[in-house]
Amino acid sequence: MTLLLIAEENMTFQNIRLIGIVLFVGALLLIPYAAMKMGAEGVNWTAIDFIAAAVMLLGAGFAIEVALRVITKFEYRIAACVAILFALAFVWAELAVGIIGTPFAGS
């Protein structure tokens, strides 16, 4: 009985964390949207840009969630999260300015 209650509490916390990831990504995407509506120079995102950003941010968030659920050792959790965030930053920079010059690079 006690294990069942602990499992239910753990699932509730994990579900709240998933909702937090989705809300955080939505809040992050509101920043460029608001900047575009206010007429900020240099912020000219299309729908594809918002979709790509949402996919990358949600993918990184869910990958971190999986890492936190699967990996039990604290040091490995930190390493996995850092690696995921580094990969996100690298792909984002490549799409934005083209650090390695792939055909997907921005202008």
Assign 106 a pLDDT band (cuts: 50, 70, 90).
low
> Model pTM?
0.81
**Tens-place pLDDT, residues 34-70:** 999 998 888 888 999 999 999 999 999 999 999 999 9
CA dist., res. 67 & res. 31, Å (int)? 27
Pull the structure tokens for residue 80.
């996995």
